[in-house]
Structure 1
Amino acid sequence: MSSFIIRRSRGRSLLLWKTHGFKITTSFSPSTDSLSASGFSSFLTRSFKTTSFGFVSGKISHLNQKFGNFVCSVNGSVSMTRRPLSSEAVAVAATCDGLTVERIIANQWPILDENESDWKSHAAAIAQSIQVIKRRLQWKKLLVRLKVLSAELNKPDLWDDPVRAGKISREHGSLTGKMKGVMTFERELLEHIDMLKLAKEENDSELESETLKALMDMRRVSKEKELEALLSGENDRCSCYIEVQAGVGGTDCNDWASMVMQMYKAWAQRRKFSVTVVDEMPAELAGIKRATIKVNGEYAYGYAKAEVGVHRLVRISPFASGKKRHTSFAAVAVIPILGDGSTRVQINDSDLRIERFRSGGAGGQHANTTDSAVRITHIPTSITATCQNERSQHMNKASAMAVLQSRLDQLEMARQTAMNAQHTQSLTEISWGNQIRTYVLQPYRMVKDLRTNYEVSDPDSVLEGDLDGFILSFLSSSLDKDDTEH
């Protein structure tokens, strides 16, 4: 019996091969291994039944082409050194017979249902997903930016300015992580194709079945990765504040603003985000004049940013006589909460005006009898933040400061990126002309997004928080509009 030991670089895996049964065992450290364990182990955990040493040599030769360089000897050790892959090398990654993701797409293999046992169909679907992901990540710009950042990191005086150096280092790490994720997924697809062809050559139905299943799993994962690519912005992973303000129009607009806020609370709960009411100003008769909620959860801002703008309601007014149709408006702003605890704007105490007042409410035994509510104004910008929902003045002040900090950070982002229309400085600055969506309850029933023309005929489901269709449609259209970007 001959045995072969294969060690992955940096001791990340240990493989024991034995001829005359060709038993293979493997151990991985998925948390640190950039190579996907699922793709690699689907081949390496197989037991090949053979007594031909020539067959072993063939396998070693094949793996030489796929996984790196081997040094092997009978009754000795086989060491494997994985070649580091640069972004340029991965851009032309190919199977042993020269098949690349680009060629898979060019072949125009028909894409069948996910349950069909056609490996070409699965490969074509995965290849298309990889192409979509690269386009959404603006692949060419990403590589150019990564090159610029790498040059900056190599400058000897970089850390003379620690703040700037830290920012460059974090951006470089983030972009590198995105690129490696796509590169690994692309390489995994090509490795599965190689394994499947090898299984067919060896008439190994079990390996063929395992590899086909792995491709089917990859196809399902590819759709998740497409969605992740939609949320690749700098602050998309952050939690956020959602602010709603009623338009000019009396009780109908106040009631509509309350409906919009309830819609976002329901949406957040559907997505398993936690919701905290930061501030709420009730209207005299019904609804609210304005309200702010804090939505905690990964990618809360990435999703909710699609909702910034003016929402228009058309219905028969329940508050006016004559049963006439009434149009109401509510403005929505979404502000990211920087997840790393960093801030873009330093707030000086001397720039703040802090006012304390008695919280509003329904009255009666629940009326607030102390001046616990807090309003903080940033004098240089006139931006304000209010909180009256916490138990104490101290807690209200802390919450109001957090909202003010996020608003000022948002203002700075808007200034730096010259995108003031998308990054709201304050709710009052949203123009009523920026209508993004119309909700019609009478005489017919429909909700339509004016930016994408996406529409549904069930307004009740939308008002109960079913917003993902509108959100994903907007995010997709905004990132997929340039089909030439890879």
Structure 2
Amino acid sequence: MVLASGYDALEGKNNGFSSISSLPMVKGSLEYNGVRVPFSLCRCFGTATAVEPSTSDGLTVQGIIANDWTILNESENDWKSHAAAIAQSIHLIKKRLQWKKLVVRLDMLSAELNKPDLWNDPVHGGKVSREHGSLMGKMKGVLAFEQELLEHIDMIKLAREENDAELEWESVKALLNMRRISKEKELEALLAGEQDPCSCYIEVQAGAGGTESMDWAAMVMQMYKMWAQQRGYRITVVDEMPGEIAGIKRATIKVDGEYAFGYAKAEVGVHRLVRISPFDSNRRRHTSFAAVAVIPILGDGSSRVRINESDLRIERFRAGGPGGQHANTTESAVRIVHIPTGVTATCQNERSQHQNKASAMAVLQCRLDQLEMARQAQMNAQHTKSLTDITWGSQIRSYVLHPYRMVKDLRTNYEVSDPDSVLEGDLDGFIMSYLSASLDKDDNP
């Protein structure tokens, strides 16, 4: 009966428990999709399961951390050191996944799945089912990794009781391999947000300062293009308004690739440059600003806002350019204004007016979806506001080329002394530092 109840809980079936206060304590274990899940410290309830795996003698990951086992270098064949390092990683992964909230959310989604009228609305039903499957997959992955750690500890203890040196050595090697894999899993947990796997738009806009700032905005956009290319993403220029003398007033690129938004969201804000101006004949030092916004592309069927044609004002104009033989003589560029919100989207880089309109509509849809997500979930404003909402006093990073050379992130204090490498797209250190700091600051998993 215990196994049946546990199986129902993992499947998200209603087994008769109505509230968390009525959850039974269950002992033993079960096989589920090839993963043996112990129930020694397990509370099973009708809509989700919160499991804390343990060894045969009751040792848990939290117990390992509480025992404060010494963590040595990987080259040291100390099984307790490997186990402690893995336990710390599991604790960090759970923190990044917001484990307690994940369990509560699974509880709510499982309750939704149990409603008999769920599929009366197929769109809503599909959304609930997909989110439930995604969260359940994350939970099972962590629990399986946690259980593997504890099983190897059991094996080592058994090998020592039986004086089986070969079995002990095999388990120690397995723990070392898990220790290395755990670092990859820590990275995966940094990108566990709902929109993180999406492609995205990156928008750059020059700040006040004329040609100097426009040149800086062009440098920032080039930096992101090089970063995206290094990660193997596909880049499409959606919109670009060149400056009168040099640089750009604004530009938008589409970055296609897995987890493009998850990484790029760390770049939202104002970027500040200090250098000797190449446009100043007196060789004076200038400070320039450029604002960056990142918008996720939710994909087909995920749009949150339905756009009515009657709410749109479509403007057509000649695309900008350097002039001369490259001057555009047709009104192929398109600007779309969503009248109720005032949100706009522009595209002038496609070959025809029809293609420009389609691209501008895609950008507009993403911007409106972001506004709706901000309204519903009260998301972090720096991830949801448009370029025009970003204030120039909110710089996130300083790029100093004179009188010394350094790039420093003002949010994390991460810095490098080689600005050239950063401007050539080497941004991963800044991105990972910010993502880690933003997710790991809370002490509670």
TM-score w.r.t. the length of structure 1 is 0.80
Secondary structure of the 1:406 match is: helix
Secondary structure of the 1:155 match is: coil
Secondary structure of the 2:169 match is: helix
After TM superposition, list the pairs within 5 Å mapping 1:190-209 onto structure 2. 190-209=150-169
Deviation at 1:68, TM superposition (A): 6.4
Out of 262, 282, 292, the residue aligned to residue 332 of structure 1 is 292
Q: For residues 183 and 371 of structure 1, do their structure 2 counterparts lie closer, same or farther at Cα, with a shift above 3 Å needed?
A: same
Instruction: Please name the residue that 1:432 is paired with.
Output: 392
Matching of residue 355 in structure 1 with residue 315 in structure 2? yes
After TM superposition, list the pairs within 5 Å mapping 1:433-452 onto structure 2. 433-452=393-412
After TM superposition, list the pairs within 5 Å mapping 1:380-395 onto structure 2. 380-395=340-355
Secondary structure of the 2:381 match is: coil
Task: Name which of structure 1's ranges 258-267 and 383-392 shifts more when overlaid on structure 2.
Answer: 383-392
Instruction: Please name the residue that 2:249 is paired with.
Output: 289
Out of 106, 115, 119, the residue aligned to residue 79 of structure 2 is 119
Contact preservation (8 Å) 1:246, 1:290? yes
Secondary structure of the 1:286 match is: coil
Secondary structure of the 1:423 match is: helix
Deviation at 1:99, TM superposition (A): 1.9
CA separation in 2, counterparts of 1:82 and 1:311? Answer: 50
Instruction: Please name the residue that 2:21 is paired with.
Output: none
Q: For residues 83 and 112 of structure 1, do their structure 2 counterparts lie closer, same or farther at Cα, with a shift above 3 Å needed?
A: closer
Letter paired with 1:385: A
CA separation in 1, counterparts of 2:35 and 2:247? Answer: 67
Letter paired with 1:396: N
After TM superposition, list the pairs within 5 Å mapping 1:75-474 onto structure 2. 91-419=51-379, 421-474=381-434
CA separation in 1, counterparts of 2:301 and 2:177? Answer: 37
CA separation in 1, counterparts of 2:36 and 2:87? Answer: 24
Contact preservation (8 Å) 2:397, 2:410? yes
Secondary structure of the 1:180 match is: helix
Q: Which has the larger radius of gyration?
A: 1
Deviation at 1:421, TM superposition (A): 2.2
Instruction: Please name the residue that 1:482 is paired with.
Output: 442
Letter paired with 1:179: M
Contact preservation (8 Å) 1:243, 1:332? yes
1:128-174 CA-to-partner distances (Å, cap 9, x unmatched) read: 00001111111112212222222232233333444433333232222
Gaps of 5+ in 2: 1-10, 12-27
Contact preservation (8 Å) 2:38, 2:54? no
CA separation in 1, counterparts of 2:233 and 2:377? Answer: 28
Q: For residues 415 and 67 of structure 1, do their structure 2 counterparts lie closer, same or farther at Cα, with a shift above 3 Å needed?
A: closer
Q: For residues 83 and 331 of structure 1, do their structure 2 counterparts lie closer, same or farther at Cα, with a shift above 3 Å needed?
A: closer
CA separation in 2, counterparts of 1:83 and 1:309? Answer: 44
Secondary structure of the 1:244 match is: strand
Contact preservation (8 Å) 1:66, 1:96? no
Task: Name which of structure 1's ranges 83-92 and 260-269 shifts more when overlaid on structure 2.
Answer: 83-92
Contact preservation (8 Å) 2:336, 2:344? yes
Deviation at 1:90, TM superposition (A): 6.4
Q: In angstroms, what is the RMSD of aligned CA positions?
A: 2.5
Gaps of 5+ in 1: 1-33, 35-64, 70-79
Contact preservation (8 Å) 2:35, 2:144? no
Contact preservation (8 Å) 1:424, 1:430? no
Secondary structure of the 2:393 match is: coil
Contact preservation (8 Å) 2:50, 2:103? no
Secondary structure of the 1:187 match is: helix
Letter paired with 2:158: L
Secondary structure of the 2:193 match is: coil
CA separation in 2, counterparts of 1:316 and 1:391? Answer: 39
Q: For residues 439 and 81 of structure 1, do their structure 2 counterparts lie closer, same or farther at Cα, with a shift above 3 Å needed?
A: closer
Deviation at 1:433, TM superposition (A): 1.6
Deviation at 1:176, TM superposition (A): 1.4
Deviation at 1:195, TM superposition (A): 2.3
Letter paired with 2:93: I
Secondary structure of the 1:336 match is: strand
Letter paired with 1:326: H
Instruction: Please name the residue that 2:8 is paired with.
Output: none
Q: For residues 245 and 361 of structure 1, do their structure 2 counterparts lie closer, same or farther at Cα, with a shift above 3 Å needed?
A: same
Contact preservation (8 Å) 1:355, 1:374? yes
Instruction: Please name the residue that 1:19 is paired with.
Output: none
CA separation in 2, counterparts of 1:230 and 1:87? Answer: 27
CA separation in 1, counterparts of 2:82 and 2:35? Answer: 30
TM-score w.r.t. the length of structure 2 is 0.87
Deviation at 1:424, TM superposition (A): 3.5
Aligned length: 414
1:42-89 CA-to-partner distances (Å, cap 9, x unmatched) read: xxxxxxxxxxxxxxxxxxxxxxx88769xxxxxxxxxx9967866757
Letter paired with 2:231: R
Letter paired with 2:382: Q
> Percent identity over the alignment?
77
CA separation in 1, counterparts of 2:273 and 2:184? Answer: 33
